[in-house]
Chain A
Amino acid sequence: MNVRLYLWQRATAAVMAPLVVVHIAVIFYATRHGMSAADILSRTRGSIAWAAFYGLFVSAVSIHASIGVRNVLSEWTPLNERSVDACAVFFGLVLAVLGLRAVAAVVLP
């Protein structure tokens, strides 16, 4: 892993640490009486705060996870560096697109 990727990996980890704590709290809160779509969407639809929170979370995790997957592929598979980079970029883009689509699905009124 080069220095630039290392810094992105650590910076996104630092950004996500408090977000993960809040997300775990949300998971516990959301499951207090069993989870229902109506319950979830009533909290999230039209909420700029949740849109910003999960938008930031998805952006950070897309970068963080793609660099992590790159490290694993580079160290545990025989793939050459170009293929590893291509896989990591593809995975990061898939996460970003699906993640932002999921945020839109739950916050758009």
Chain B
Amino acid sequence: MIGRAAKHRDSALWIAAMVHRVSGLALAIFLPLHFLALGLALESEARLESFLRWSDQPLVKAAEIALVFLFTAHLLGGLRILVIENFDWRDGQKQLATLAAALSAIVAFAFLVRVF
């Protein structure tokens, strides 16, 4: 019974919807911290610089790479939803969702190469 009820969770489109929701939630949690960090410039340029040097740590950079992935995935997932809702239905939604995931991974990998 449980297996049947959860079968839809194997679908690429269910996973895409979940990635969209979880990435949005993660970005919503990150945003206030991002704004507080930039707000340090109100105190002084040196205060912001000191925070940026703290953020050079590998673990912080890894978190930034994850955020770039989630940001891109949320953008592409959102564009897919806008297109579905506002234009004629097109087949191949699972392939589009997979392509969005692949593109997000490429952008995140390019960022990884840039910051490490």
Contact = CB atoms under 8 A, between A and B. Distances in A.
Number of chain B interface residues as a range: 35 or more
B59 interface: no
Contacts, number: 88
A17 B75 contact: yes
Q: Chain A interface secondary structure, helix, strand, loop or mixed?
A: helix
A103 B62 CA distance: 25
Q: Chain B interface secondary structure, helix, strand, loop or mixed?
A: helix
Contacts of B27: 65
Interface in B6-60: 21, 24-25, 27-28, 31-32, 34-42, 45-46, 48-49, 52, 55-56
Interface of A: 10, 13-14, 17, 20-21, 24, 27-28, 31-32, 34-38, 40-41, 58, 61, 65, 68-69, 72, 91, 94-95, 98-99, 101-106
